[in-house]
Chains A and B, each alone.
Chain A
Amino acid sequence: MTENKNDIKNYSDLGFMCGLEIHQRLATAEKLFCSCPTHGAKETTRLDPEISRYQRAVAGELGDVDRSALFEEKKRTRFVYRVNNEASCIVDLDEEPPHGMNNDALAVALSIAKSLGMTIPDELEPMRKEVVDGSNPSAFQRTTKVGMNGRITINDHEVLITGMMLEEESAGIIEKGEDSTVYDTSRIGIPLVEIDTYPYLRSPSEAKNVALRIGLLLRLTGKVQRGIGSIRQDVNVSISGGARTEIKGLQEVNTIDGFIENEVKRQQALLALKEEAESRGLGDPDRVIDITARLHSTSVRIVANELRAGGVVLGVRIPFGGGLLGREINPDRRLGSEISDYAKMGGVNGIIHSDEDLAAYGFSESELKEVRAALSVKPGDAFILIAGSKAKVYVAMDFALQRVSMVRQGVPLETRGVLNTDTCTTRFLRPLPGGSRMYPETDLTPINVTGDMLARAMTDAPNPALEEEQLMKDIGNAATTQQLLLSSYLQLYHNIASKTTADRRFVANVLLQKFTELRRAGYSVDVIGEQRIVDVFSRYSSAKITKQGVEEIIKLLSKKDASVDAAIKELGAGRISGKDLERLVEKVSAELQDASPELLAKAIMSKHRLNVDGEELHLMLKRLSK
């Protein structure tokens, strides 16, 4: 966890600015503003009721309309909400005003605020943050600032936290079509805390360490959800001459540094492109021309398909743009891919541009000649083609050309999403939202923070130092302690420790090493469920199974929805111990007359590996041999 000093120096020279936003779902029984459960709902199917809505950008509190909100409205998407009645009520569907704020969620949030040394406002003011991408049926997210000005110390360096918000989770996407997006309602309204740092993180690895540390703090509350999507990190990155880019929804904390490094490279590449564009005198794109007639009998499949469906092809010349669109700016990403991302916002599949292998698309030499002529393309120019329905191509071309014109600006202000977790690359999602999309939630009254609430927050505040000390005492191994502290299994570990007397070090080793090993070997240990894992250790600690048995049972449970006792029975993994073991020893020693204790142990273990605890057998043989 040490930061490399050179690393920090190098990034500082680049004018590196980086901040984190960490979003963590809380594991309260009920949602933030209604009494729906926060987990355990069945998945929706096509048979569930659906509601369809449209959303539009409305002015913020100070009369401004947010640019990302306008952008979403321009897309005019139909939002379909598949209603999960097990997990949502009409509050979630924006058909009933919110009930009061969930007290448990607020208590957890306040305890985290205390742990981060934050100032808590005397009165909390619930706000609406406008979000018109359909992810919330109300077109806003309810969010309340519960703490400000916190700090967290990492490797003797103090990292400043701007604030913490308690807010509602949004709907999960089921599918995203060209004109409509389908959402599942079950997740809407689950309480979520957002913790933001100041943009002064000094290197990608420092950002990762801060995320790990805050993640630990959150898990120590014992009140956070686990599993895919329950924690999400957003990072904001910029370098000198670049612009703030927000990368949203990083779920795997260990890739945070990789994404930040690539974003720095992307901005450097875009700045280099800007310089080149300036020196070449890259001009505004020419007039957009409908070249459908020139390609009416083309064999380029993606174009022909659109034309058969009644679509058109638009083309545009970019003076002096030749070669720029093909320039790589991130692993496997070119300027052309960025432009294509913008075009896709218009509902088309992408663009075709002159720096691509056009022959591979199926363009003939004569077709290309026709296209170049129609667009008046001269040597050194670039061109872009977009095929699609008439209703979409003009909007798509408009978006694409917006991106082209930004080449001279360098790095556009963008919100980006994950494209590929292996290469740590991102893609454009929407323009970066401005700050003017908040207004008061008038359906709720402000919350007075009482002395009692603050006292309880103080008592409940997670304390990582104390936790580390206690774990070290229980486990007795510094490396395992550190690993467990930062692992997502900490809560499960405590659950097992509180309900069973199983050896703590064994529990930690199974959760950390054995689980990883099994996962790599293809066992889906993550589907077993907390209760069954607790049961396994409970059977172990009451001497019903052996250490070997634990592993085999976990393997079986990862493949079968059976109870632990059923699994023990199926595997014949019941532990043989005490008098039964004595009888077994007698029987085997009678079979193998005069065998040495070592030979006896070997013989018994080879047959009853799952059922006999090696240590118990060893002690028994020692006793008997006396």
Chain B
Amino acid sequence: MYSKKILEAINKEDVKIGGRLHIVKGGTEYEGILMPRPESGDHEILIIKQDDGYNIGLRYSGEKISKLPSMERKTAPNKPKHATASGLPRVTLLYTGGTIGSKVDYLTGGVKVLTTPEELIGEVPELGDIAEVHVVDLMHTFSEDITHFEWGAIAEAIENAFSSGSRGVVVAMGTDTMHYTSAAISFMLQDPPGPVVITGAQRSSDRGSSDAFTNLACAVALAAEGKPIGVGTCMHAGSSDETCVFIKGTRSRKMHTSRRDAFRPINSLPAATINVLTKEITYSALPPQDTHHISAKTGFESKTALVKVHPNADPKILDYYTDDGYKGIIIEGTGLGHVPVFTQHEEYSWAEAIRKAVKKGVLVGMTSQCINGRVNKNVYSTARTLASLGVIYCEDMMPEVAYIKLGWLLGNYGVEDARRLLNKNMVGEISNRITYTED
């Protein structure tokens, strides 16, 4: 955003953002294209793109601006045209936001979704050999802004895609909360008839090194095969552009802020790997091949909370939720599933707050902030005490997944069903066996 002073000066001369201008400042002449000013910058600075491509910033203090005719754009060779081959399986690409599946318009700073198959294939030509991609521009939401309302909309859109003949569905989204979405969709859809592959990019697609292209191509390849592998995330397996991994939606977690291989399978192994070059897919184990009719259950109890325990944590936080009418709380406890109970400083003991919550009918579940491994209610007396107070130990389920499962159970079933089902496996979120891995 430019200041009022700058806007007035450029409007007076009919210079538009993206148009050429001339200005003399401090005895130096400048010519170039007026670029947009990002929201956050100094509003009195004019950003000019010079003819060598560099942008420079000039503080505007009333100098004369004049309009110049736009230079004829040199025509660069267009990207080679690719068409979709005929007879390919139909895949729906649901676009929800994030940099994947979109293109930055550098002139306006806006993000443009690649909605037509032509545009999409123009950027990721290999898609044209894999599937007939049908793009649904569902929403443009940063993943950190997504709520259970959006999860419901996505689940319904997936259901529609399958009922209108798609063999698989790819959901393109921002990566921050991708694993929450993958868990929510896993519960909402249960066993979808084909793959539901959620993908994104850790490097924006405006750079030649972006992982968006390969992630998208691998996700579409997996969706096009149509195996009923359920819901999961598909991202880079490592830092190299070699393999992408499909991880079950309730087992995937973002474990790095920026690396391409941020998404890791927790307490499990990847369900499938896809070779980036050949698009060859290797499944680790296939579920039964029967197809299901799906009917999305999209209810979600918003009065559900996820609470992290730490030394010195004030148990009154639980009282707040209990008093505010919350129906369920997942605790991210320490170690095998603990909160302070036998502390010498009574004001730090969580026992009373938990007893009060349970008494009021709040479902309280226990998970571990270790992320990896299983909670256990028998090893230490702390856990035995908590279990006797009515805390439900959630096995090897990740805290975020337990939170989503509890909200979903409370939103679609009665409290008693929710209590019974919370620590029983439904869609692969819990397993009886954790096998040994080297890293």
Contact = CB atoms under 8 A, between A and B. Distances in A.
Interface string A427-447: 000000011111110100110
A20 interface: no
A62 interface: yes
A55 B42 CA distance: 34
B55 A65 contact: no
A127 B207 contact: no
Interface in A267-297: none
B57 interface: yes
A314 B257 CA distance: 51
Interface string B192-216: 0000000000011111111001100
A90 B74 CA distance: 37
A605 interface: no
Nearest to A49: B239
B401 to A, nearest CB: 26
A51 B76 contact: no
Interface stretch (B45-53, B265-273, B292-300, B311-319): B45-53
B7 interface: no
Given A64-B76, A446-B41, A95 B209 contact: no
Interface stretch (A105-113, A137-145, A236-244, A557-565): A137-145
B242 interface: yes
Contacts of A75: none
B54 to A, nearest CB: 4
Given A90-B259, A95-B239, A119-B26, A438 B208 contact: no
Interface string A95-120: 11100000000000000000000010
B56 A149 contact: no
Contacts of A67: 76-77
Contacts of B26: 119
Nearest to B242: A52
B76 A139 contact: no
A122 B76 contact: no
B40 interface: yes
Contact of B52 (A65, A435, A440): A435
Contacts of B106: 60-63, 439-440
Interface centre among B203, B206, B238 (most CB of A within 10 A): B206
B107 interface: yes
B53 A149 contact: no
B378 interface: no
A213 B103 CA distance: 45
B59 interface: yes
Nearest to B259: A95
Nearest to A136: B209
Contacts of B203: 94, 138
B213 A56 contact: yes
B208 A132 contact: yes
A149 B42 CA distance: 25
Interface in B142-186: none
Contacts of A396: none
A64 B259 contact: no
B4 interface: no
Contacts of A448: 42
A412 to B, nearest CB: 15
B425 interface: no
Contacts of A64: 73-76
Given A434-B74, A436-B53, A446-B41, A69 B208 contact: yes
B314 to A, nearest CB: 35
A616 to B, nearest CB: 61
Contact of A62 (B28, B40, B73): B73
Contact of B53 (A52, A122, A123, A435): A435
Interface string A44-62: 0000001111111111111
B57 A121 contact: yes
A187 interface: no
A139 B208 contact: yes
Contacts of B52: 162-163, 435
Most chain B beta-carbon contacts within 10 A, residue among A122, A128, A132, A163: A122
B345 interface: no
B241 interface: yes
Given A61-B49, A65-B79, A145 B56 contact: yes
Contacts of A63: 106
Given A90-B259, A93-B239, A436-B76, A53 B57 contact: no
Contacts of B238: 51
Contacts of A125: 47, 54-57
B57 A124 contact: yes
A139 B59 contact: no
A86 B250 CA distance: 38
A127 B54 contact: yes
B78 interface: yes
A53 B240 contact: yes
A483 B75 CA distance: 49
B105 to A, nearest CB: 8
A31 interface: no
Given A61-B106, A445-B40, A139 B209 contact: yes
B208 A56 contact: yes
A165 interface: yes
Contacts of B206: 58-59, 439
Top 3 A-B pairs ranked by shortest CB distance? Answer: A123-B57, A139-B208, A438-B53
Interface of A: 50-67, 69-70, 73, 90, 93-97, 119, 121-125, 127-130, 132, 137-140, 143, 145, 148-149, 162-163, 165, 434-440, 442, 445-446, 448
11 contacts: A59-B103, A62-B73, A62-B106, A93-B239, A94-B209, A97-B258, A123-B41, A123-B56, A125-B47, A129-B53, A439-B106
Interface of B: 26, 28, 33, 35, 40-42, 45, 47, 49-59, 73-79, 103, 106-107, 203-210, 213-214, 238-242, 257-260, 276
Given A54-B214, A56-B208, A121-B57, 7 more contacts: A51-B238, A58-B205, A69-B208, A148-B56, A438-B54, A438-B55, A445-B40
